[in-house]
């Protein structure tokens, strides 16, 4: 169970920490110092490098989470709530990856900036939602055992 907890925390750190950095530090700075095309190229490259790590984080979270839930039998409500929020986050990420990120890559690769900007805007909104859900899950995971 100790290794599963470590892998779970590792996945959470990679994913939520990456979203926090990208959404609250990288994106605003890029918007301040780069023109539209350069900003779109930067974010395309950042996501292309970050999203494989998110897929790894999803695998770690799902695998370790299911393993720990199987070990404890009937999970407490807070654990079930974390699992539901985690699945919602994974579905949102899959949508980001297969829809707006695909459009962003295609548009940036052919320098269609007017198509790339809305795709990046959609990614920004969905990452913001996932960041909030991830922080909520962290709160539930931290306080849940105290309230159980």
pLDDT in tens, 77-129: 999 999 999 999 999 999 999 999 999 999 999 999 999 999 999 999 999 99
pLDDT in tens, 49-85: 999 999 999 999 999 999 999 999 899 999 999 999 9
- Residues with Cβ within 8 Å of 58's Cβ and at least 6 positions away in sequence, in order, are 11, 15, 90, 93
Domain ranges, ordered by start, for the chain = 2-147
| 52 alpha carbon, distance to own chain's centre | 11
For the entire predicted model, the pTM comes to: 0.95
- pLDDT for res 147: 83
Q: Are 14 and 56 in contact (CB under 8 A)?
A: yes
Helix (H) or strand (E) segment spanning residue 20: helix 2-21
């Amino acid at each position: 169970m100790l290794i599963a907890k470590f892998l779970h925390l590792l996945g959470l750190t990679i994913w939520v920490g990456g979203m926090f950095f990208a959404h609250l530090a990288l994106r605003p700075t890029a918007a301040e110092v780069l023109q539209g095309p350069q900003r779109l190229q930067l974010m395309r490259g950042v996501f292309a490098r970050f999203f494989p790590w998110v897929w790894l984080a999803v695998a770690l979270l799902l695998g370790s989470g299911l393993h720990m839930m199987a070990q404890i039998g009937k999970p407490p409500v807070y654990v079930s709530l974390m699992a539901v929020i985690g699945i919602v986050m994974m579905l949102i990420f899959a949508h980001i990856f297969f829809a707006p990120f695909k459009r962003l890559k295609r548009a940036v690769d052919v320098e269609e900036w007017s198509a790339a900007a809305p795709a990046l805007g959609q990614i920004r909104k969905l990452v913001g939602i996932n960041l909030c859900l991830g922080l909520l899950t962290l709160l539930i995971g931290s306080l849940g055992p105290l309230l159980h």
